[in-house]
Amino acid sequence: MSTHRTARGALLPLAAAAALLALSACGDAGELTSAGATPTAVGPTRLWPKLPPATSDPYGLDEGNRASVPGVEVPDSDVHRVKPVAVVQAEVRAHPGEYSGTDGLYDETVRQLGRCDEKPTSCPVLTSYYRDLTGEGSDDLIVGIRMPENQLVVRVYMAEKGRLTRIMSSSDSVISVELAGRDVLIRATSGIPGYEYRTAWSWDDRQRAMFPTHDEFLRVAQDKHNRPDGPGGPRTPDRPGGAGAPPPGPSPASPPESSPASAPESSSASAPEPSASGS
């Protein structure tokens, strides 16, 4: 018995070795291989650690983003029942002579606004869109205003207790405007070939206004929108994140591409995604 057990025990290691060789031969094609040494993780290094932190925001982003529209009533707090052109005209009357900032419009644009009834084809107010951007269960009003030099003003309004409140205002050399969920995405020229700005405006329930929550500088396929002398040129410090209208100055009128907006459309939050071209 002891001799039999010894012989059988000697055969077991040989059989195991043969099985391992067979498995290794079959698994060459799919086995894991080393990717090399992993680089050592380096944490962020704080520069000027003794520099005191700022005590306030460098830009007052809430200023102008939220503003009551005087003289405009909203029956049943339904923004579909207000006229987009009348809304923009009311803001012009409340801020006459404003050329920059969230209330600014070109002189030429203001003159065109005053003739929207008799010349609707040249009215600078584009077809309006409606969607619940605040998450409060009712549609908000999205207005686009064409200006010279391929500038586009994008404004959003919400109804509050029968009154109209503007919760977003942006002006830039716009390539396109899109809605993604409850965000407004604006692509704008950068003035640098092959690059563009892409900004996402989102609702902030605490401030009850929309803010540029994601502002990116992206490399894209070079096209006519990204020439060094492209429309509108690069952004300037007084127009952070595309907020704020361009300074006044003579400029040729843009070709009329807007559609009459003297009365609100019957579209709703389920309307197709809008796309406004600034070229």
The pLDDT value recorded for residue 53 is 87
The tokens for 39 are: 């680089």
Percent of the chain with pLDDT over 90: 54
Residues 6+ apart with CB under 8 A from 121: 256, 258, 260
Residue 137 has pLDDT above 60, yes or no: yes
The pLDDT value recorded for residue 43 is 84
Q: Is 207 left (phi over 0), alpha (psi -120 to 50) or beta?
A: alpha
Enclosing H/E stretch for 129: strand 129-131
pLDDT-derived band at 40 (thresholds 50, 70, 90) equals confident
| Nearest one of 248, 251, 258, 260 to 278, comparing CA atoms | 258
- Cα angle vertex 79, ends 75, 83, to 5°? 90
**DSSP per-residue codes, 142-175:** EEEEEETTTEEEEEEEEEETTEEEEEEEEEEEEE
How many residues in the chain? 279
Residue 268 has pLDDT above 80, yes or no: no
pLDDT-derived band at 41 (thresholds 50, 70, 90) equals confident
Tens-digit pLDDT profile for residues 105-118: 999 999 999 999 99
Residue scoring higher pLDDT (131 or 269)? 131
The pLDDT value recorded for residue 264 is 37
Q: Where are the domains of the chain?
A: 67-242
Residue 200 has pLDDT above 80, yes or no: yes
Residue scoring higher pLDDT (226 or 117)? 117
pLDDT-derived band at 256 (thresholds 50, 70, 90) equals very low
User: What is the pLDDT averaged over residues 33-53?
Assistant: 87
The residue to which tokens 């952070």 are assigned:
240
The residue to which tokens 């290794």 are assigned:
24
Percent of the chain with pLDDT over 70: 65
Residue 1 has pLDDT above 80, yes or no: no
User: What is the pLDDT averaged over residues 70-90?
Assistant: 96
pTM, two decimal places: 0.65
